Amino acid sequence: PKILDLQKSQPAIVYINGNYWGIYNIRTKYDETYFKNKYNINEDDLVVLKNPSGDIGQPVDIGFAGDELSFCKLFDFIKNNDMRIEQNYRYIQTLMDVDNYIEYNILEIFCGNDDWPANNVRAWRKRTSKYESNAPYGHDGRWRWLVFDLDCGFGLFGKSYKNNTLAMATAEGSTEWRNTDQYTIMLRKLLQNDEFKTKFINRFVELLNTRYYEYTVVEKLDEFRKIYAPYIPDHINRWKLHKENIENWETEIRSMREYALRRPNAIREHICEYFGINISELK
């Protein structure tokens, strides 16, 4: 199944010692309790890596020293082997959940996250001695990815809906901190495999026509606007945001609406450019 782990959230008005403290969002924390409640994985069997780099000795967020070696094994195999060879690709599928990885990258790319893929990445697995093909979802020992911190997406800081995050996430030879080869090589090399590439393109187009469809996203954006709008003036006053006002806030909302409306077609152009295909082939 194509499953993404998302942090549920709830906007809240905060008071501390009776003093108004503004608008906050309460979010689910990716901790031992989360994985116990959702997947029934015990704390002692859980491994979570923050910004996994493929480096031996990288600190382990949840788990024990040495738990990063499983990710290093995955990373090194992709880096040093030809993913066009079916046997290699089949082996990779025993180390990582390919569907989850595709779904995760599509979301990051669609949102235009500018603080990724070298940052804001969380990967997890249940610690097993080998791949358990018949185990329940999440218990098979394969690596999966968590959606985390998309703040620098959706046009923040004036980034255009034309921002080509697909090219950024697959760049080779980049000197920017966020997308050096170490952080783009996995997706880049997996896209050399025809089966993975086809699945990636088809799923991206499917999502652009459904979950990320222009008016579906705008409708959700308008829902959030209605929730927050009555509380924005008090929040601005509380923090003495003199350079801010309701009109500025509405301007940012309009910017996000434009992003939502124009991003799907921009992404289709990016897909065609990257893979050398015609727009008519994207059904």
Contact 260, 221 (CB under 8 A): yes
Q: Identify the three-state secondary structure at position 191.
A: coil
As a whole number of angstroms, the distance between CA 280 and CA 278 comes to 5
Residue 222 CB neighbours (<10 A): 12
Contact 69, 49 (CB under 8 A): no
DSSP element (H, E) containing 7 = none
> If you average pLDDT over every residue of the chain, what do you get?
95
**pLDDT confidence of 85, banded at 50, 70, 90?**
very high
**What is the 8-class DSSP label of residue 61?**
S
Q: What is the pLDDT of residues 95-151, one digit of tens each?
A: 999 999 999 999 999 999 999 999 999 999 999 999 999 999 999 999 999 999 999
Q: What is the pLDDT of residues 227-263, one digit of tens each?
A: 999 999 999 999 887 666 888 899 999 999 999 999 9
pTM for this model (two decimals): 0.95
159 or 203: whose pLDDT is higher?
203
**pLDDT confidence of 155, banded at 50, 70, 90?**
confident
DSSP element (H, E) containing 182 = helix 181-190
Residue 6 CB neighbours (<10 A): 12
DSSP element (H, E) containing 39 = helix 32-39
Q: What is the pLDDT of residues 213-237, one digit of tens each?
A: 999 999 999 999 999 999 999 999 9
Best CA proximity match to 51, nearest among 214, 177, 207: 177
Q: Identify the three-state secondary structure at position 145.
A: strand
Whether the bond between 136 and the residue before it is cis, its omega within 30 degrees of 0, is no
Residue 158 has a pLDDT of: 80
**What is the 8-class DSSP label of residue 96?**
B
224 or 157: whose pLDDT is higher?
224
